[in-house]
Structure 1
Amino acid sequence: MKNMISKAAVAATGLVFIGSNVFAQSLADAKKAIDAEQYQKAKSMLKNLTATQANKDENFFYLGWVYLEQDYVDSAKAVFTKGIAANPKSALNYAGLGAVARLSKDQAGAQSNFNQAITLAGKETKPFQYVGEAYLLGEPDGNAAIAVLQKGLAVSAKDPELYIALGDAYRTQLKNTDAVKAYEDALKINPKAAAAKVATGVVWRQANNWDASEEEFKAALAIDPNFGPAYREWAETDIRWAQKVPTQASAKVNEAVEKYSKFLSLTDNSVESRLRYADFLYQAGKFKELQTEATALSQMPNANARAYRYLAYSAFENGDSATAQSAMNSWMTKADPKRIIPYDYYYQGRIQLKAKDTTAALQTLEKTVKLDTTQGDLYADIAKIYYAKRQYEKAGDAYRQYVSKSKKATLNDYFSEGFSYYFAYGDQLASKATPKPVADTMLLAKADSAFAYIQSKVPTPNTTVTLYRARLYDLKEKDRNNIQGFAKPYYEKLIEVTKAKETVAEADKKNLAEAYAYLGAFAEYKEKDMAKATENYTKARENDPNNAQASNFFNRKNKPAAKGKGK
C-alpha cells in the first residue's frame, strides 16, 4: 500500500509539473517565439492563452499578428475581432484591424481603426508600434509609419521596439543613416536586442557593404545563437552578394542555402517557413531544388495553394512544360484572385507560348505589362506574336515599347520595329477594303525614326537599313510619273555603300538594280534627261537582267514610232 501511495504521489507530482509547464508559457514566451519567427510555436502558445486567459485582449492581438505574418488575413481579422469582444477598448486589436483593412486595400477602414487605436492607447506605446508596423505591410507607407512611431516615442522614449520599427520605416525610404541611428538607440536601451543588429545588417546590405552586413549578423548571433532571422537575412545577403559580384556567385549561393537551412532548423519548419524557403530558392536560382520542395508541399494534405505557384515557376525554368502548365492552372484556379500577382501572368504567358497557344499567350502577356510596367522584356514576345499574325502596326508598337523599356534591346530590335511599321504602311496602300483606308504616313515616319537610330549607332551605313529607308521614301512618291525624288539620296547612298564592299553578292546586285532603276525614273520624269535615264536603266539591267523597270524602259524606248496617216 505504501509503494502504491508513493507511486501515485510521484504520478501526481509529474502531472503537476506537466501542468505547470503548460501554464508557464506566458505571453512573453510567445512574443519571443514571434521575434524568432517560430510562428507555429507562437500560435500554439497563444491559442492556449486565448483559451485559458480569454479576458486578456493582448493574447488575441498577438495571435492575430502571427496570422498576419503568415499571410492569413481573414484568420487575423477574426481573432482581432475576438480581442475587441474581450475588451472593447483594446487599442492593440484596433491596430490589428487597421492592418487587415490596409492589406485589403480598404484605406478608409484602415484609417478609422488606426485612429481608434491611437485614441485608446493613452500612455501605452505598443499600439503606436503596431500601427507603425502596419503601415509597413504590403506596399509600405514610410511617411505615415514614421509619423505615428514618433508620436509613440513622445509618449515614451524607452521602448526599444519602437526604435526598431522606426528604423524599419526609415529603411523603406532608403534613409540609411536615420535607420542605423534608430537601431543604435534601440541597442542603448536594450543591448540584447538581436533584432536591431540584424536590421542594421540589412541596412548595410542595401548599401552593398557585404562585410559590414556580415559583422552585424555575427553580432546578433553572439547575443542569441539561436536567433533564426539572423541566418535568414544573412542568407538573403549572400544572394544579393552573388547577384552583384558574379565572380563570387556560385560560392555565395551555396553559402546562402546553408544559412537558410540553418534558419529552418531554428524555426518550426512549418508550411509557412517552407514556403518562404521556396521563395528564397527562387531568388537563388535553385530551380531543381525548388521544384523538389514545391512538389513536396503540393502533395501535402490541404496543400497551401502557393506551392503550385512555385511548382509552376520552377518546372518552367527546368524545361518541364507539362508540369508547369498543370501547376499554373492549379494556382490560377485555387488562389484567391487578390493573391494573383503580375509575375504569375508573366509565367503563365511564357508557359502558353511554350505550348504554342499564341492567342492565350498574347492576352496574358498584354495583361502582364499593363499590371507591371517593369516587365519591358515581354514586349519582344508580344511583338513576335503580332508579327506572325501579320498585324504589323501592333507589332511595331510592341517593338517600340520593347526598345524603350528593355535593357536587352539590340539594333536588330530597332530594325524589327522599323520593318513592322514599313509593312503596316504597305498593307494600307494595298488594302482592297471598301472604303479604302487612307494610308497613315506616320507609320513611315516611325519606321524611318527606327532606321535612322540604327544608322546613328553604326560606324558605316548598313546596306539593308539604307535600302529600306530608300524604299519607305519611295512609297511616299505614290506616282513614278510625277516623281519628287524623296528616295533619291537614300538610293544614291545605297549604291555608294554597296560598291564599297569587297564582294558584291547576287542579292546586292538586285538592290543595285533597284537603286539605278529609281534614278533612271527620276532622270526620265523629273529631270527630262533621257541620256541620263538610259545610263541608269542600263546599269540597272546590267546588275539584274530581269529588273522590270529597266525592261519596261527599253521596251518603250525601242518601240517603233507609229507612222502618220493620209500622206
Structure 2
Amino acid sequence: MNKLIAIAVATAFAFNVNAQSVQDGAKMISYGRFESAKKALEPLAAKDPLANYNLGISELELENAAAARTIFAKYPDDFYNQAGMARVLFDEGKKDEASKILMAIVDKAKKKEWEKYKAAADAITYTKGGNANDAIAWYKKAIEISGGDASTFIGLGDAYLKLSGGGGEAMNNYDKAVEKGTNNSLAYSKIGDLWYQAHNYDAALKSYGQAKDADPSNPLPYKSLADAYQRAGKYDMALTNIEKFLELSDKSIDDQITYANLLFLSKKYPEAQAKIQELIGKGVQKTYMYRLIAYSAYETKDYQKALDNMRTFYSKQDPAKIIPDDYIYSGKIMSAMAGVDSVHAKMYNDSADFYFNKVVTADTSKDKSEMYRKIAEGFKDAKEYGKAGIWYGKIIASNPEAPALDYFYWGYGAYYAKDYTTAAKAFNGLKTKYPDEGSAYLWIANVAAAVDDEAKTGGAIQPYKDWIAFNKNNYEHKQADLMKAYQYMAFYYYNTNNEKDAMEYVNKILEIEPSNTFANQVKDYYTKQKNAKPAGGGKSAGRK
C-alpha cells in the first residue's frame, strides 16, 4: 500500500513538474525568449501535445516555419497543434486554409472547452491575415465559458489593437488581466506601451516600473524603455535599458544589433563597430550590419573603412531597402575622401554630389528640411563650406520658418566661399526673422567689410556700429570680433584722413592689444605728423 502511494505521489510530482515547465516555456514565449523556450520544451514535446504546440510556436517566432510545420504535424488530432498549423498557413499566405482549420476547431468545441476558442483566437491575433473580429468573438466566448484568465484578457487586448481605434478596449482588457493577478508583468508592459503611444509618459514609466516589480525576469519593459528613450533622443538612457534587456533576454542577433545601433546613436562609435565585427566573426550575415560599420567608421574619421563597408553594403542590399541616410552617409564619406585623397578629389566630390542629389529624389516627404540639414552638415564637417551653404539655403527656401541656426550657416557657408551677395542675403534674412540674434548684426558687418576689404567705401562702418550697440539678451561682444571691427573702422578713417575718429578706434585696439602693429603704426604716423612741418606724402600703414 505504501509503495502504491509513493508511486502515485511521484507520478503527480512528475506531472506538476511537466506542467510547470510547459507554463515556463509559454511565459518565455510571451517575453520573446524563444530560444530559451525551445530548450525548456524540447524534452517534453514528445509526450505532451501542449509542450509540442509551444515548441512549434517558438520555432515559428524564430522564423523557422518549416520546422514549426513538422512539429505541429506530430499531433494532427490535437486542437492546439491544429491551431499551430493554422499559424504556419497564415505565415505562408494561405489565409483560407488557415481559417478553415480554425473554424473546425471552434465548431467542434463542447460546452466547457473554452481553450479551443482561445487557441483559435491566438492563431489570428499573433499572425497576419486572419480576421481580428473573429478572434475577438472567440476570446469573448472563452471568457464567457471560463470567466477568463489573465492570458485570455491579454490576448483579447492584443486582438483589439489590430483594429483601428481599438486602443481603449485593449487597455480595458489589460486592466482586467491585472485584476486576475497571474500575469501582471506582461499586462503592465502592454499597458505601458499604450500609455507611451498616447504620449502619457509619466503613466508609461509607472506601468513599466510595475512590470519590472511584478516579475524582475521580464525583459520587455526594459526593451520598451530603450525604445522610448531612443525616440526621445536620450541615447544614454536607451543604452542603459537595452543593456539590462540583454541581461534578461535570449540576446538574439536582432537584439544585439539593436544594442550596436544604440551604441552608435550614443556616439560610442568604436564600441558599435566592435560589436558588429564580433557578430560577423561568429558567422552572422545581416546586410545592414555593414551599414552600421560604415556609419561608425565615418564618425571616427576612418574614411577608407567607411567607404569599403558602404560598398559592401550596396553590393548586398536589396535596392528597395536602401534608406535616405544611406545616400547621405555615402555623400559625406565621398566628401571626406576628397579631403584626404587630393589626387582623386574631383572624382570623390562628383560622387558626393551624385549621392546627395539622389537622396533628394528618393525622399518623397513634403518637408525635406531635415534631409537638407543632414546633407549640409556633411559638407560642413568636410569643410566644404560653400556647398554646405547651398544646402542650408535650400532649407530656408523650402521653409522660411527654419531656425536661426540654419539662416546663420547659410550665410556662414556663403561667406567662406566668398559669395558675399548670398551671405548678405542670408544674414539680413536672419536679422529680419530673428531681430534679437546678435550674430546677424556682426556678420552683416563682416560681409560688408569683406566686400570693402581695403576699407575705402566705409560700407561696414554703420553695420559695425549697429553691432557694437546691440545689447539684447545679455549678448557678449567677443574681443576677437571687436578687434576686427575696430581695425576696419580705424583703417577706413585713416584712409579718409579723419584723424579724430581713426585715433578713437586705434586707442580701443590698443586697450585690447597694446602691441598691435597696425594700431601702433597709425598712432606713430599721426604723432610724426604733429611733430613735422606740413608736407605731402603717402601713408604706409596697413592692417595687421
Tell me if structure 2 keeps the 8 A contact 1:129–1:149. Answer: yes
What is the alpha-carbon distance in structure 1 between the residues aligned to residue 215 and residue 21 of structure 2?
20
Cα contact 1:298–1:308 (8 A) shared by 2: no
1:156-176 deviation digits (Å, cap 9, x = unpaired): 333644543554564998986
Give the alignment of 1:53-132 within 5 angstroms. Answer: 58=53, 61-68=56-63, 75-76=64-65, 78-79=66-67, 82=70, 90-99=82-91, 109=93, 119=103, 122=106, 124-132=117-125
Q: Which amino acid aligns with 1:359?
A: D
**Residue 355 in structure 1 maps to residue 337 in structure 2:** yes
Asked whether 1:196 is paired with 2:173, we answer no
Question: CA separation in 1, counterparts of 2:95 and 2:414?
Answer: 51
Secondary structure in structure 1 of the residue aligned to 2:310:
helix
1:264-292 deviation per Cα after TM superposition (whole angstroms, max 9, x unaligned): 23333443442233234345444343233
Counterpart check, 1:458 vs 2:435: yes
Choose 269-278 or 51-60, whichever is displaced more.
Answer: 51-60
Residues 353 and 361 of structure 1 are in contact (CA less than 8 Å); yes or no, is this contact kept in structure 2? yes
- Partner of residue 300 from structure 2, selected from 315, 318, 327: 318
2: CA distance, partners of 1:129 / 1:318: 48
Superposition pairs of residues 34-433 of structure 1, within 5 angstroms:
34-44=29-39, 58=53, 61-68=56-63, 75-76=64-65, 78-79=66-67, 82=70, 90-99=82-91, 109=93, 119=103, 122=106, 124-134=117-127, 147=133, 149-157=135-143, 158=148, 160-161=150-151, 163-165=153-155, 167=157, 170=161, 178-206=169-197, 212-236=203-227, 243=234, 252=237, 257=240, 259-335=241-317, 340-356=322-338, 357-369=348-360, 370-371=362-363, 373=365, 375-380=371-376, 398-400=394-396, 403=399, 410-412=406-408
Whether the aligned pair in 2 keeps the contact of 1:379 and 1:401 (CA below 8 Å) is: no
Aligned 8 A contact 1:235 1:260 in 2: yes
Separation in 2 of the partners of 1:302 and 1:418? 46
RMSD: 5.9
**Maintained 8 Å contact 1:308/1:331:** yes
The offset of 1:92, in angstroms, is 4.0
Mark the CA change 1:264 to 1:181 in structure 2 (over 3 Å): closer, same or farther: same
**Contact 2:296/2:306, CA 8 A, preserved across alignment:** yes
Distance 2:308 2:329 in 1: 12
Instruction: Give the drift of 1:299.
Output: 1.7
Paired residues of 1:58 and 1:92 also in contact (CA < 8 A): yes
Is the 1:91–1:120 contact (alpha carbons within 8 Å) kept by the matching residues of 2?
Answer: no
CA distance in 2, matches of 1:224, 1:291: 34
CA contact (8 A) 2:223 2:242 kept: yes
Q: 1:399 to 1:221 in 2, by over 3 A?
A: closer
1-structure distance, mates of 2:465, 2:244: 68
CA distance in 2: counterparts of 1:189 and 1:41, whole angstroms: 26
Residue correspondences, number: 424
Q: Deviations over 1:472-528 (max 9, x none)?
A: xxxxxxxxxxxxxxxxxxxxx99997998988959x99xxxxxxxxxxxxxxxxxxx
Query: What are the within-5 Å matches in structure 2 for residues 482-561 of structure 1?
Result: none
CA distance in structure 2 between the aligned counterparts of 1:501 and 1:226, rounded to whole angstroms: 62
Quote the offset at 1:36 in angstroms. 3.1
Query: Separation in 2 of the partners of 1:192 and 1:238?
Result: 26
Give me the identity figure in percent.
Answer: 21
Tell me which amino acid in the other structure corresponds to 1:125.
K
- Counterpart of 1:311, as a letter, is I
| Counterparts in 2 of 1:494 and 1:98: CA distance versus 1, 3 Å | farther
Residue 196 of structure 1: how far off its partner (Å): 0.7
Mark the CA change 1:33 to 1:189 in structure 2 (over 3 Å): closer, same or farther. Answer: same
Contact 1:328/1:348 (8 A) holds in 2: yes
Deviation at 1:300, TM superposition (A): 1.6
Q: Which amino acid aligns with 2:260?
A: A
1:219 to 1:336, Cα distance in 2 relative to 1, 3 A: same
Q: Could you tell me which amino acid in structure 2 is paired with residue 66 of structure 1?
A: E
Unaligned runs of 5+ in 1: 1-18, 69-74, 101-108, 137-143, 244-248, 427-443, 469-492, 510-567
CA 1:224/1:396 → structure 2, altered by over 3 Å: closer, same or farther?
closer
Q: What letter matches 1:377 in structure 2?
A: R
Using structure 2 for the length normalisation, give the TM-score.
0.56
Partner Cα distance (1:300, 1:205) in 2: 36
Asked if structure 1 preserves the Cα contact closer than 8 Å seen for 2:22 and 2:51, the reply is no
Amino acid at match of 1:34: I
Is residue 204–residue 210 contact of structure 1 (8 Å, CA) maintained in 2?
yes
CA contact (8 A) 1:378 1:402 kept: no
Change (3 A) 1:222 1:376: same
Distance 1:453 1:170, change over 3 A: farther
CA contact (8 A) 1:346 1:364 kept: yes
Secondary structure of 2:371 counterpart: coil
For residues 395 and 209 of structure 1, what CA distance do their matches in structure 2 show?
Answer: 37
Distance 1:80 1:39, change over 3 A: closer
Paired amino acid for 1:317: E
Q: Distance in 2 between matches of 1:358 and 1:292?
A: 30
Q: Amino acid of the residue matched to residue 275 of structure 2?
A: E
Structure 1 residue 399: Cα displacement: 4.2
| One-letter amino acid of the structure 1 residue matched with residue 58 of structure 2 | L
1:322-373 Cα deviation digits (max 9, x unpaired):
3333333333334455654444444334333322333333333444452473
